[in-house]
Structure 1
Amino acid sequence: MNIKLENISKNFNKRLIIEGVDLQVDFGKLVHIIGSNGSGKSTIFKIICKIIEPDSGSIEFSDQTQLGALIENPSFMEDMSLKKNLQFLGGIKKQFDEEKVIRLTERLGLDYDSKVKVGKYSVGMRQKMGIIQAIMEDQNLILLDEPTRGLDKAALAELKRLIEELIAENKTIIIASHDNLSELNFDEQYLLEEGRLQLN
């Protein structure tokens, strides 16, 4: 078991967002949570990342879990370059492998040495950066919130290859999106609707 959620519920301003969410995911599994915009997908991810606290329920991680996440509208230091941003993020845990990061940026069609400030990046470019920071430190539980948003066809194909490689390395990936992403071979798919999560 890599992660286990039990009876997770969350309200915002007396409005129920998610209720009684149960989810257990083992190492090496690719899981999909499908839900419309505003259904609570990002809320689940933020609770897992401890950005917000649930009103009830519990989360259990395995001792080996290293979490990486792309959550909606990833934020970066807008007045700095991609390189400076990724170096800063990688320096927090002192696990920055520059050669690996350069390979990832090349694969996703970004220029590692570009002097362009991230504030001028398109939605798709920011998504690519978010994907890179979620996987660049050898994380083994990876949360990807709407990872295909703004990506062109070549980047989508490369993302699919990256996901397949990570799963082959026994890493766990949970993807949340509003579409079915039929090009990926999910081990399990869940539908999040009216705050409830159920197998699809």
Structure 2
Amino acid sequence: MEVELKNISKTIHKTPILHDINLKFHSGAIYGLKGKNGCGKTMLMRTICGLMIPSAGTVSINGKVLMKDIEFPESIGALIENPAFLPQYTGYKNLCMLASLRSDIDKEAVAEAMRRVQLDPEDKRVYRKYSLGMKQKLGIANAIMGEPDIIVLDEPINALDEASVEQVKKVLVDLRERDHLIIIACHDREELEYLSDEIIEIKDGTVVCKQKEGVA
């Protein structure tokens, strides 16, 4: 699996958000995006997921150009900003409804994704009664269920306690070892350095540094 960004730029209301970004991402690695709020990390993630059309440049997934050859990446899971779950249903019901849109995710895969982030698929609490940490875990479970080839996570450890952070780290390392391509943004510098094989620093919508890190 390879994701390639060529000369990606994005301008909104005459304000440049991303400028001439060229990057390649490969399977079996975790890529960390580093930068201050508003630097363009989330916009870059949305562009990779096919949720934002660049003003210039192309995103290719295994040679297929988004918005030309394919509308969206064929196998991707994402947690970007606040996921839209229905408050009146349980976490399990929410994920089952989302999984029903895809033919490759059955109910057991939904339950397994929840268990991997330490959520109980049999919990009868509805989503509106979830704590912030539980809501974050459900967003991660949604991104990893069915084990998509590409996993994009924006601030995945926000609102998580220490034990939950450790569990999410284990899940991500396991997915990397099984040859998935993972892109994360994280404000916690130590956690980003621990998880990432390569850190990409973004400033004012431009890649300013790429740094290889040690593998966890």
CA distance in 1, matches of 2:178, 2:130: 31
Aligned to 1:77: 86
Between 60-69 and 119-128, the greater mean CA deviation after superposition: 60-69
In the alignment, structure 1 segments of 5+ residues that lack a partner are: none
* CA distance in 2 between partners of 1:26 and 1:104 (Å): 23
Partner SS state of residue 19, structure 1: strand
Cα deviation, residue 9, structure 1: 1.0
Partners of 1:183 and 1:7 lie apart in 2 by: 27
Counterpart code for 2:52: I
Give the secondary structure class of the aligned counterpart of 1:184: helix
- Say whether the 8 Å CA contact 1:2–1:65 is kept in structure 2: no
**What TM-score do the two structures reach when normalised by structure 1?**
0.92
Question: What residue in structure 2 maps to residue 15 of structure 1?
Answer: 15
- Find the aligned partners of 2:109 and 2:60 in 1 and give their Cα distance: 30
Q: Counterpart of 1:138?
A: 147
> Does residue 29 of structure 2 align to residue 29 of structure 1?
yes
Map of 2:158 onto structure 1: 149
Deviation at 1:153, TM superposition (A): 0.9
Secondary structure, aligned partner of 1:3: strand
Which structure would you say has the larger RCO, counting Cα contacts within 8 Å and 6 or more residues apart? 1
Report matched runs for 1:33-182 at 5 Å.
33-62=33-62, 66-180=75-189, 181-182=191-192
> Which moves more between the two structures, 117-126 or 44-53?
117-126
1:128 deviates by 0.7
Q: 1:76 and 1:70 mapped to 2: Cα distance?
A: 12
| Amino acid corresponding to residue 77 of structure 1 in structure 2 | L
Contact 2:96 2:110 in 1 (8 A): no
What is the identity, as a one-letter code, of the residue corresponding to 1:56?
Answer: A
Farther off after superposition, 14-23 or 58-67: 58-67
Partner secondary structure for residue 32 of structure 1? strand
CA deviation after TM superposition for structure 1 residue 65, in Å:
5.5
Could you report, residue by residue, the CA deviation over 1:69-104 in whole angstroms, capped at 9, with x for unpaired residues? 111111112221111111011110122233333233
Structure 1 outlier segments of 4+, above 6 Å = none
Quote the residue 1:199 is aligned against: 210
CA RMSD of aligned residues (A): 1.8
Identity percentage over the alignment?
Answer: 35
Q: CA deviation at 1:179?
A: 2.7
Q: Distance in 2 between matches of 1:165 and 1:126?
A: 22
After superposition, the Cα gap between the structure-2 partners of 1:183 and 1:155, relative to the gap in structure 1 and judged at 3 Å, is farther
